[in-house]
A and B are shown apart, each in its own frame.
Chain A
Amino acid sequence: MTDALAIPLRPTTRGAAYHAPVRLHDASDEWLAKRSARGDADAFEQLVLRYQDRLYTLALRITLSDADARDCVQDGLISAWCAIDRFRGDARFSTWIYRIVLRKAYDTLDRRRRSADPSEEIAAVSHDRSSDDRLDLIAALSALEPEFRAAAVACDVIGMSMEEAAEALGVPAGTVKSRLHRARARLAQQLEVNRTP
C-alpha cells in the first residue's frame, strides 16, 4: 500500500538538481513529520502504521482498558496531526507522540478517579487477569501503581531509553530509574509468590 509510494521532492531553490525519490516506508520519522506538517496525510499515515502498536500497548497498560486505550491512541494521533507543525524536531518524534498519548492515558485515569467509580478500573483489571486465577505477568503489571507501571511499560515493554522515558513521562531520569527498579522488584516478588505453591 503505502510501502510502494514514493514521493519525489521538489527541486532545491539553489539548483535544478532533484533529490532522489524517498520511499515513505524508508523515510525517517522526522522527515515524515515534516511532510505531515505540510499537510501530507500519506506521510502521517506511515507514522500511524509505524507507531500504532507501541502507542496502543502504552495506553492499554496504563489505562487497563481496551476501549480507553483505543480512544487514547485515536485522540492522541488526531491531536498530533493537528499540532504537528509545532513539532520542531528538538526531541525525537517518538518521544513527542508517546508524550501526547501518555497524557491522554493519564487524563483517562484522572477522569476515572474523579468520577469515583472504581468498578471501571476493577473491571479492567479483572479483564486482564485472563481465564485462570493465577497472577500472570500482565496481571502483576496491572496491579502496580500507575507511575511504576508507566516506567516499566515505557522502558521494558516499549523499549524507550531512560532519557526518552523521562522526557515522555515528564519526570527526571533519576525518578524513572528508581521507579523502574521498584517496578521490576515488585513484579519479581509478585511472580515469585505466585510460583510458590
Chain B
Amino acid sequence: MSDQPEQHEEIVRRLRDEAGARAPAGLAGDVMRRVRSEPRPNPRRRPLLVLLAAAVIIAALVAGISRLGGAGSGSASGGSVPERASSSAPRTAGADAKANSIVVDGVPLATLSTVAKHARHAGNALFASPCLGNSLYLLSVPYTAWDAVRTRLQQSATAVSASPTRRVRVRLRRLAPGSTPGAITVTCP
C-alpha cells in the first residue's frame, strides 16, 4: 500500500517543500569570524615542513647509530655490546685489547676443548649433553690470561683445517683484575 508510486511522489514533494530548514541567523557570521581569525596553513610551506621533519628524523637516527657504534668500540661498558671478531673481519689488535667482551665465530670445537681442559668446572663434562648441541659457548677469562686465550681462539678460527671439524661461536668475557674465579670458566648459555 505504502509502496504506491503516487504516495512516494507525494512524500518526495512534501520532503522537498516542508523538511528544509533555514540556517540560524548569525551562523555565517560566526563561521566567518572564526575563519578570518584562523590562520590557515599555507600549502606552499607544507613540503618544506615535511622535508624539515624528515631531516630531523634522519639526523636523530644517524646520531643514534653513531652513538651505538661508539659504545661498541669504546668499550668501557663491560661488554653490553659485544664486539665481534670473526674470521672474515678480524679486529685490530689495539681494538681487541681494549674490548672486555668479544665474540669469536668459527672456533674449532677441538681448540675450545683444549682451552677448556684447564677450565674450572669444565673438563669433558662441558661437551657432554646438554651442551653438546650448542653452537655458542661463554668463556670467562681471567684478566691476565685474556690476550693469550683471545689470540689462540682467533687464530684457530681463521686457520684452515684439512679435516672436517665442528666449529662453534665463543663469547669471551674478560674478568676484572683480581676477580674470582682466577681460572677460565666455560658455561653453556
Contacts and interface: CB of A to CB of B under 8 A. Distances in A.
B7 interface: yes
Interface in B24-58: 24, 27-28, 30-32, 34-36, 38, 40-43
Interface residues of B, number: 32
A104 to B, nearest CB: 13
A73 interface: yes
A53 B19 contact: no
Contacts of A153: 15, 19
B162 interface: no
A150 interface: no
B125 interface: no
B16 interface: yes
Contact of A52 (B15, B20, B28): B28
Nearest to B31: A77
B109 to A, nearest CB: 65
B12 interface: yes
Contact of B19 (A48, A61, A74, A81): A61
Interface of A: 37, 39, 41, 44-45, 48-49, 52-53, 55-57, 60-61, 66, 70, 73-74, 77-78, 81-82, 84-85, 137-138, 141, 152-153, 156-157, 159, 181, 184-189, 191-192
Per CB-CB distance, the 5 closest pairs between chain A and chain B, nearest first, are A189-B2, A56-B23, A85-B43, A156-B15, A188-B2
